């Protein structure tokens, strides 16, 4: 009997050990994935910790200088510093550590850098012109107090090619005129007027400033309040004078990043084409037609809550909700009570649903189940809307036709502290017509979800317009499944202004310098007579780091390009010349459950009914970048496959032909 008991105990311990070993193995695999499995082979990343916007991009004496928003204390967004790297080719980078640290004026937000060739600032000499960085100070203490003048602009300079930096003793050089979002200066020399020009993001538009010495700035004009998308805050502008390909004519292109409000969710970059005279940007007439907005609609109905009589009919909990006034002096329900630290809820009296729609206006934080207005029926949430991280009131409608004659209540909640931890609601109305927000057409540089805050290098050689963006999205950037480090930059790209059937468009292609990292080219002149080509059976594929190019000829049907692994994980690119769409589907791409909206289907416009479509696809360990017709249509998306993609197929319903197929593995590792 004792022997049996001993055997049972040993069996139990062995089983427990096996379970523990299995759990440990799973944890080990999880940690390996989180730490390095998704580190790109050929994209720029920080060695460790958090990175976002590219900053201070300038070319000087054979070196590309790349600064970036950096938190040296962790792998999520935090107190911003400027990290720094240099390169001779934008491909291989040498990390140089942190160069700009927070000081008494605040943390160091985004900005730019220039070569002060004529030493207008007096920081160097004409023989040794200084590099001058222009950046935003962010005062978090003021932000917590609910103040608006939380951001100002400062200077730093270097006289040793960027290796060491000295801040200007009279910072800030541009103070705030009570605009909460007042940041991301991009500065360039304007040769016609012989002055420095700064483009600065100001809430939902751009401000233009001029200076002769980089220290003293004068406001000149604004642009954008009436043009483009305003679904979120405007950020990281860039103003570029670009030659139209094939002509001797030039146009100015104004890049503006926006968060949120991008076409496929979260953050993205729109652009405007026009002219600039040194003080004022004027939108091109054709773009004025394309970007003409459609007014918001807010139908009349039965007023349920206009808040003119306060909150006497609402049950209020916490210290957040109160009656405030909008910019026109109208009463609104607000949870911003001196700061974003206040929390609470407001519950309406019960009502019977007798109309088709419940309309209201809303602004505030985009935090699911935390800054929201909700419709409850029998205690269950049946409708919910959050803000958009924007100070713009959006007209919104709930379709409640399926709830007719039922009793409901409306609850407004704020359980979020910190940035955008508030919500504001106005004009809750019952109507038989739906409210609709203002429709604001925009043209986007990249229709994928993961190319944000990108700008160009100052003083780039040969008048090239060289661009790098942050390859992530504020919607999920803090939650992606890496822990040692977070975020990468896009491939460096060259921007060109070209004529298309829709008008002038900004095209982007990977820079020619990237050819150096490509292994020998595998080619196939033509593939025809089938409706499915398994390219990994034709070419040798290096898992998770390769480039594919081909031309689809006689394009009269849609094709799917499937990037996959033995695990079954896949990203699908669908090119449809008839509909004029390029679609990227990452719903089964790998790890997707770290954020509710990550598993998305993204759509880009595509020129319709062309004879041929040229496609370039760059795949790295955790990203897919697609360029169609030399970058007229572009999509960038991060993915997290647990096994690197090593299978490539191209499929259609009917037979189709590919020509000039080229396949290159990337001969570089990190």
- Domain residue spans of the chain: 1-37, 49-293+442-474+489-495, 302-431, 518-665
The pair phi, psi for residue 4, each rounded to 5°, is -65, -45
The distance from CA 219 to its chain's CA centroid, rounded to whole angstroms, is 28
**In CATH terms, are 302-431 and 518-665 the same topology?**
yes
Tell me the β-bridge partners of 235: 257
- Nearest CA among 529, 524, 525, 522 for reference residue 652: 529
Taking the C-alpha atoms of residue 420 and residue 416, their distance in angstroms, rounded to an integer, is: 8
Helix (H, G, I), strand (E, B) or coil at 22: helix
Return the structure tokens found at 563.
């990037």
**Is there a contact between 106 and 506 (Cβ–Cβ < 8 Å)?**
no
Q: What is the pLDDT of residue 146?
A: 80
First to last CA, the chain: 60
Active site residues: 53
pLDDT tens digits for 439-469? 999 999 999 999 999 999 999 999 999 999 9
**Is there a contact between 254 and 247 (Cβ–Cβ < 8 Å)?**
no
Distances (CA, A) of 626 to 335, 383, 464, 554: 42, 37, 21, 21
Burial of 378 (0-12, 13-18, 19+ CB in 10 A): exposed
Taking the C-alpha atoms of residue 578 and residue 432, their distance in angstroms, rounded to an integer, is: 37
Q: What is the pLDDT of residue 391?
A: 79
Taking residue 330's Cβ as centre, other Cβ atoms within 10 Å add up to 14
Q: What is the pLDDT of residue 669?
A: 63
> Residue 232: how many CA atoms within 13 Å on its side-chain side?
24
Q: Which CATH number fits domain 518-665: 2.60.120.560, 3.40.50.1970, 3.20.20.100, 3.20.20.70?
A: 2.60.120.560
**Is there a contact between 413 and 231 (Cβ–Cβ < 8 Å)?**
no
The answer to whether the bond into 172 is cis (omega within 30° of 0) is yes
Burial of 28 (0-12, 13-18, 19+ CB in 10 A): exposed
- Which residues are CB-contacts of 505 (< 8 A; sequence separation ≥ 6)? 443, 497, 498, 632
Helix (H) or strand (E) holding 198: strand 195-202
Tell me the β-bridge partners of 359: 397, 429
Q: What is the pLDDT of residue 670?
A: 57
CATH class of the domain defined by 49-293+442-474+489-495: mainly beta
Helix (H) or strand (E) holding 141: helix 140-144
* Strands, sheet with 107-115, edge to edge from the N-terminal-most edge strand: 107-115, 131-138, 151-158, 166-167
Taking the C-alpha atoms of residue 655 and residue 531, their distance in angstroms, rounded to an integer, is: 4
Residue ranges in the chain whose pLDDT is less than 50? 1-23, 25-34
Taking residue 513's Cβ as centre, other Cβ atoms within 10 Å add up to 17
Taking the C-alpha atoms of residue 403 and residue 355, their distance in angstroms, rounded to an integer, is: 9
Taking the C-alpha atoms of residue 190 and residue 196, their distance in angstroms, rounded to an integer, is: 6
Rounded to two decimals, what is the model's pTM?
A: 0.89
- Nearest CA among 597, 595, 575 for reference residue 584: 575
Taking the C-alpha atoms of residue 361 and residue 435, their distance in angstroms, rounded to an integer, is: 9
Return the structure tokens found at 404.
């007719």
DSSP annotation of 30: H
Q: Can you tell me which residue has the tokens 């390996």?
A: 32
CATH class of the domain defined by 302-431: mainly beta
Q: Can you tell me which residue has the tokens 């319903």?
A: 653
Q: What is the pLDDT of residue 8?
A: 41
> Residue 265: how many CA atoms within 13 Å on its side-chain side?
15
**Is there a contact between 374 and 411 (Cβ–Cβ < 8 Å)?**
yes
Return the structure tokens found at 164.
């060491």
Q: What is the pLDDT of residue 34?
A: 44
């Amino acid at each position: 009997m004792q022997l049996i008991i001993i055997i049972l105990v040993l069996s139990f311990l062995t089983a427990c050990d096996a379970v523990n070993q299995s759990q440990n193995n799973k944890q080990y695999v999880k940690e390996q994935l989180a730490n390095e499995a998704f580190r790109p082979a050929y994209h720029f990343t920080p060695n460790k910790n958090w990175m976002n916007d590219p900053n201070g991009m300038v070319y000087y004496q054979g070196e590309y200088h790349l600064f970036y928003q950096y938190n040296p204390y962790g792998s999520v967004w935090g107190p911003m510093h400027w990290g720094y790297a240099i390169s001779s080719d934008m491909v291989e980078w040498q990390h140089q550590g942190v160069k700009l640290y927070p000081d008494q004026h605040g943390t160091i937000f985004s900005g730019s850098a220039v070569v002060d060739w004529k030493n207008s600032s007096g920081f160097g000499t004409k023989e040794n012109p200084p590099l001058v960085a222009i950046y935003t100070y962010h005062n978090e203490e003021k932000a917590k107090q609910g103040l608006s003048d939380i951001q100002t602009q400062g200077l730093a300079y270097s006289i040793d090619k960027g290796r060491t930096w000295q801040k200007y003793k009279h910072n800030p050089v541009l103070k705030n005129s009570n605009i909460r979002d007042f940041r991301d200066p991009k500065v360039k020399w304007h040769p016609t007027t012989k002055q420095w020009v700064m483009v600065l993001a100001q809430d939902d538009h751009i401000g233009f400033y001029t200076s002769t010495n980089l220290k003293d700035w004068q406001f000149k004009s604004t642009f954008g309040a009436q043009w483009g998308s305003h679904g979120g805050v405007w950020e990281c502008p860039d103003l570029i004078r670009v030659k139209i390909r094939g002509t001797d004519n030039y146009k100015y292109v104004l890049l503006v990043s926006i968060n949120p409000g991008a076409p496929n969710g979260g953050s993205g970059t729109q652009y405007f084409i026009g002219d600039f005279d040194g003080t004022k940007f004027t939108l091109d007439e054709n773009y004025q037609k394309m970007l003409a907005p459609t007014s918001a609609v807010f139908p009349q109905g039965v007023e349920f809550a206009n808040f003119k009589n306060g909150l006497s009919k609402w049950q209020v909990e916490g210290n957040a909700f109160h009656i405030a006034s909008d910019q026109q002096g109208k009463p609104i329900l607000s949870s911003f009570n001196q700061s974003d630290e206040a929390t609470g809820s407001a519950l309406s009296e019960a009502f019977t649903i007798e109309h088709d729609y419940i309309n209201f206006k809303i602004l505030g934080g985009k935090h699911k189940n935390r800054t929201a207005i909700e419709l409850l029926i029998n205690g269950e949430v049946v409708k919910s809307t959050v803000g958009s991280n924007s100070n713009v009131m959006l007209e919104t409608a709930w379709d409640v036709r399926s709830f007719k004659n039922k009793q409901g209540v409306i609850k407004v909640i704020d359980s979020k502290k910190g940035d955008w931890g508030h919500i504001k609601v106005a004009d809750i109305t019952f109507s038989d017509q739906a409210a609709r927000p203002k429709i604001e057409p925009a043209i986007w540089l990249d229709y994928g979800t993961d190319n944000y805050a990108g700008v160009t290098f100052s003083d780039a050689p040969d008048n090239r317009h060289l661009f790098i963006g942050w390859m992530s999205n504020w919607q999920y950037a803090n939650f992606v499944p890496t822990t040692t480090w977070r975020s990468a930059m896009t491939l460096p790209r060259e921007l060109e202004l070209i004529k298309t059937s829709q008008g002038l468009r900004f095209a982007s292609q990977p820079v020619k310098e990237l050819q150096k990292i490509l292994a020998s080219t595998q080619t196939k002149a033509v593939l025809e007579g089938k409706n499915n080509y398994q390219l990994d059976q034709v070419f040798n594929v290096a898992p998770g780091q390769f480039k594919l190019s081909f031309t689809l000829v006689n394009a009269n049907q849609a094709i799917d390009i499937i990037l996959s692994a033995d695990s079954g994980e896949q990203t699908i690119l669908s090119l449809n010349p008839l509909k004029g769409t390029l679609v990227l589907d990452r719903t089964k791409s790998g790890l997707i459950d770290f954020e509710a909206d990550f598993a998305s289907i993204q759509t880009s416009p595509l020129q319709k009914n062309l004879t041929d479509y040229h496609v370039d696809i760059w795949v790295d360990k955790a990203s897919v970048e697609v360029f169609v017709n030399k970058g007229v249509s572009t999509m960038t998306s991060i993915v997290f496959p647990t096994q690197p993609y090593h299978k490539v197929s191209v499929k259609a319903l009917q037979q189709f032909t590919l020509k000039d197929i080229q396949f290159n593995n990337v001969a570089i590792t990190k």
